[in-house]
Amino acid sequence: MESVKRANQRLRNYPLLMAKCSVAAAAYATCVTTDLNVAHRSCDKEFHTFKECMRKAAIDMKSKL
């Protein structure tokens, strides 16, 4: 049951992580929503920037994604 508690805590941290990466998240969302027919890997740069921000924020909070 301890693993379930840790997983629930990580899920509770997601809103905080998203708030810390709001600029990168907005840039990625803008890229994805600009065209209805999103091509594969068309927003790779924005996605990787957002992913790296989330990873660093999780490390700062001493958490995992």
pLDDT tens for the chain, residues 1 to 65: 899 999 999 999 999 999 999 999 999 999 999 988 889 999 999 999 999 999 999 999 998 88
- The answer to whether residue 8 is domain-embedded is yes
- The answer to whether residue 56 is domain-embedded is yes
Q: What is the DSSP letter of 14?
A: H
Output the pTM of the full model. 0.85
What pLDDT shows up at residue 65?
Answer: 83
Question: Is the Cβ–Cβ distance between 21 and 47 less than 8 Å?
Answer: no
Q: SS3 of 9, please?
A: helix
- The answer to whether residue 37 is domain-embedded is yes
What pLDDT shows up at residue 19?
Answer: 96
- The answer to whether residue 65 is domain-embedded is no
What pLDDT shows up at residue 38?
Answer: 87
Residue 36 backbone dihedrals phi, psi, to 5 degrees: -70, -25
**The total number of structural domains that make up the chain:** 1
Angle formed by the axes of helices 22-33 and 44-60, to 10°? 160
- For 52, the domain range is 2-60
- The answer to whether residue 45 is domain-embedded is yes
